[in-house]
């Protein structure tokens, strides 16, 4: 299945706040659908599935991509859930979003895809590129690119810049100082349930 392009608020009503997916907030507090208001008690599987879906929709991943990240996190040293979140947070599209250059992660992905973003002075148009500490992420030195980002900087998606990033609005240039800490992940998610979900799948 390719990326989700349907109504975003419907997903927010079902899964809760997803800061990377949309800046809008749902007017109705109950889930969508005919039986949204009288939901039955959810099974353990449903709870795990919901946590996994939060991750998928927030970071804009297909099921296959997310599974690939889970396998990569399993191979790495440390807590699988924490490594998984770090891998997703250090993606270029998410880093551009967290620096305030775009209002949402889909918006950041579009900036990257269209070649408006450079890493260490070279244009990188791959949203899944893994940013590493020490790398400089900037807006391409073109009038159109700078105008787009200037507009976005007036209304950043998230108010606070995470501690592992720095960004200079005048130069339109940011730097990755370290790998993201768990407390700076903006999405409210239980990563252990996601690891459990995939341990039963594969």
pLDDT value at 1 more than 50: no
Q: How far apart are CA 120 and CA 112, in angstroms?
A: 14
- Give the domain ranges of the chain: 8-82+186-201, 91-178
Residues of the chain above pLDDT 70, percent: 77
Q: How far apart are CA 104 and CA 94, in angstroms?
A: 9
- pLDDT tens digits, one per residue of 104-133: 888 899 999 999 999 999 999 999 999 999
- pLDDT tens digits, one per residue of 146-181: 888 888 888 766 667 888 999 998 889 999 999 999
CATH superfamily to which 8-82+186-201 belongs:
Ribosomal protein S4/S9, N-terminal domain (1.10.1050.10)
The answer for residues whose C-beta is within 8 angstroms of residue 57's C-beta and 6 or more apart is 4, 11, 15, 18, 21
Q: How far apart are CA 153 and CA 101, in angstroms?
A: 6
What is the second-level CATH architecture of the domain 91-178? Roll (3.10)
The sheet carrying 173-176 orders its strands as 122-123, 117-119, 136-139, 173-176, 165-168
Q: What is the pTM of this model?
A: 0.85
Q: Helix, strand or coil for residue 115?
A: coil
36-40, 55-59, 93-97, 159-163, range with the lowest pLDDT: 36-40
Mean pLDDT of the chain: 83
DSSP label at residue 22: -
Q: State residue 20's pLDDT score.
A: 56
Residue with tokens 């108010």, as numbered in its chain: 159
- Both tokens of 198, joined, read 């995939």
Same fold, 8-82+186-201 and 91-178: no
């Amino acid at each position: 299945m390719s990326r989700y392009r349907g109504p975003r608020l419907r997903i927010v009503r079902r899964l809760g706040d997803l800061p990377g997916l949309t800046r809008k907030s749902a007017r109705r507090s109950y889930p969508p659908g005919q039986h949204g208001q009288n939901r039955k008690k959810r099974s353990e599987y449903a709870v795990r599935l919901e946590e996994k879906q939060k991750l998928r929709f927030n970071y804009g991943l297909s099921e296959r991509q997310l599974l690939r990240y889970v396998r990569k996190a399993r191979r790495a040293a440390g807590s699988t859930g924490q490594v998984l979140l770090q891998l997703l947070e250090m993606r270029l599209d998410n880093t551009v979003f967290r620096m305030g250059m775009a209002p949402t992660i889909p918006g950041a992905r579009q900036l990257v895809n269209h070649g408006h973003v450079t890493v260490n002075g070279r244009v990188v148009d791959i949203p899944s590129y893994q940013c590493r500490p020490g790398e400089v992420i900037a807006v391409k030195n073109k009038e159109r690119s700078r105008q787009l980002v200037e507009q976005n900087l007036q209304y950043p998606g998230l108010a606070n810049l995470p501690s592992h990033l720095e960004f200079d609005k005048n130069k339109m240039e940011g730097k990755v100082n370290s790998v993201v800490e768990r407390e700076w992940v903006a999405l409210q998610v239980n990563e252990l349930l996601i690891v459990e979900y995939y341990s039963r799948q594969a």
